[in-house]
Structure 1
Amino acid sequence: MSPRTRHAAAVVAVWALATPPAIAAETTVTFAAPGAPALRGYLTRPPGAGPFPAVLLLHSCLGWPFDRRQIGETIAGWGYVALFVDDFSSRGLKESCTVDFPAATADADGALAYLAGRPDVDRARIAVVGFSQGADTALAIAADDPRV
């Protein structure tokens, strides 16, 4: 093998090791929650059959940030299924910063049931992460729900 060929092979090997695994594109899913219309969620998962641990993500009172897809891809790249709950679009809301939003807990409960029922999710390894107002909901869920 010539030095040039060895160099090219080394470059290809380094590139292959540095390239993250292929992540399935974000898909929109729907699930039921107590007292709510069919709720929308955004799911990103690692490649393979699983079962994988999962992370349920709850948004702030302003909804999801522009980089939601990137966050989902990063979490899936770590080997987790990521589910972002969208409480707002099913209800025609843009934000809930000026009102209490008690439906968020029921919505998270429905999302947990949805994740636990997926064959690609390890139901014994589900975490909840919340952003701002969603963090309050995540703490309430984590304190009371044995699925988390």
Structure 2
Amino acid sequence: MGAVHGTTEDIATRDGTADAYLAHPDGGGPFPAVLLYMDAFGLRPQLKKMADRLASAGYTVLVPNVFYRHGRAPVIDLPDFVDPGERPELFERLGPIIQSLTPEATMRDADAYLAWLSECPMVKGGPVGVTGYCMGAGLALRTAGTYPDRVAAAAGFHGANLASTAADSPHLLAARIKAELYFGHADQDRALPPEQIERLNGVLAAAGVHHRCEVYAGAHHGFTQADTAAYDLAAAERHWAALLDLFARTL
């Protein structure tokens, strides 16, 4: 992996100040931009490592703390290794924070993140790439549909409720999307049952969105996150290959 420079940044939003991690190759630039949306466990060393790996491939990567309304990261104290089965109280604390994030609020924030990237001297002009994990996969899909002219590619991994029956489900934005999409689903994932995968595929196909949805056999929700019990090395490396391929073609 090439040398990477990482910094903490503050991003002014309409609702306050979001702290974020920014990574880019050390030397040269500017580079194509990627907005990386966190999972429910938030901005932490694991996500910074993922941003660094992505940056080493030639991108400027921004990882905002989407829970900033509740404080700077880490919003809740996490163990170095997260096993939700042994720590149910983590979800008891995270649940209300996640529920408080409305689609309207997250997309106001997305506007601020995209605007900040457009002004960043380490960012090459043009549409950006977006990737998201767990709840972040829904944010990536929603961002692609809300700001179609600003997103060239979007990916989501072990996403939750991407195509539910809710009136504000992110898949309902499919007709607006111009980006190429890639989704890597976990087949052992109660947060995205087969009927939602089928619904998402159908809506994207009907809208003419260039997309690929793959189900990773044997993978569990959270398979990309090396600091959790759900981590699956083979599935995580498959995710990296697919993500880097998507961005190489589109950015």
Tell me whether the two structures share a fold, i.e. TM-score over 0.5: yes
Task: Give TM class, smaller chain.
Answer: 0.7 to 0.9
Name the CA distance, whole Å, in 2 between partners of 1:118 and 1:126. 12
Q: Secondary structure at the match of 2:13?
A: coil
Provide the residue aligned with 1:97 in structure 2: 95
Whether 2:94 is the aligned partner of 1:114: answer no
Whichever residue aligns with residue 127 of structure 1, its letter is G
Whichever residue aligns with residue 107 of structure 2, its letter is T
1:47-70 deviation per Cα after TM superposition (whole angstroms, max 9, x unaligned): 234220111011123313541221
Aligned length: 127
Whichever residue aligns with residue 32 of structure 1, its letter is A
Name the CA distance, whole Å, in 2 between partners of 1:141 and 1:123. 18
Provide the residue aligned with 1:144 in structure 2: 146
Cα offset, 1:89, TM superposition: 4.2
Whichever residue aligns with residue 39 of structure 2, its letter is S
Cα offset, 1:96, TM superposition: 4.6
Deviates more, 1:69-78 or 1:58-67: 58-67
Cα offset, 1:125, TM superposition: 4.0
Name the CA distance, whole Å, in 2 between partners of 1:59 and 1:131. 6
Q: Give the TM-score normalised by structure 1.
A: 0.75
Name the CA distance, whole Å, in 2 between partners of 1:136 and 1:49. 33
> Which stretches in structure 2 are left out of the alignment for 5+ residues?
77-92, 152-251
> Contact 1:58/1:108 (CA < 8 Å) preserved in 2?
no
Provide the residue aligned with 1:135 in structure 2: 137
Provide the residue aligned with 1:12 in structure 2: none
Provide the residue aligned with 2:47 in structure 1: 68
> Contact 2:107/2:146 (CA < 8 Å) preserved in 1?
no
Cα offset, 1:121, TM superposition: 0.5
Provide the residue aligned with 2:37 in structure 1: 58
Q: Output the aligned Cα RMSD.
A: 1.9
Name the CA distance, whole Å, in 2 between partners of 1:53 and 1:33. 22
Quote the sequence identity (%): 32
1:23-68 deviation per Cα after TM superposition (whole angstroms, max 9, x unaligned): 11x210011112x111101001112342201110111233135412
> Which stretches in structure 1 are left out of the alignment for 5+ residues?
1-19
Cα offset, 1:21, TM superposition: 2.5
Q: Give the TM-score normalised by structure 2.
A: 0.46
| Greater C-alpha radius of gyration | 1
| Higher relative contact order (Cα pairs below 8 Å, separated by 6+ residues) | 1
Structure 1 pair 89/33, CA: closer, same or farther in 2 (3 Å)? closer
Name the CA distance, whole Å, in 2 between partners of 1:126 and 1:140. 14
Q: Secondary structure at the match of 2:144?
A: helix
Provide the residue aligned with 2:10 in structure 1: 30
Deviates more, 1:114-123 or 1:86-95: 86-95
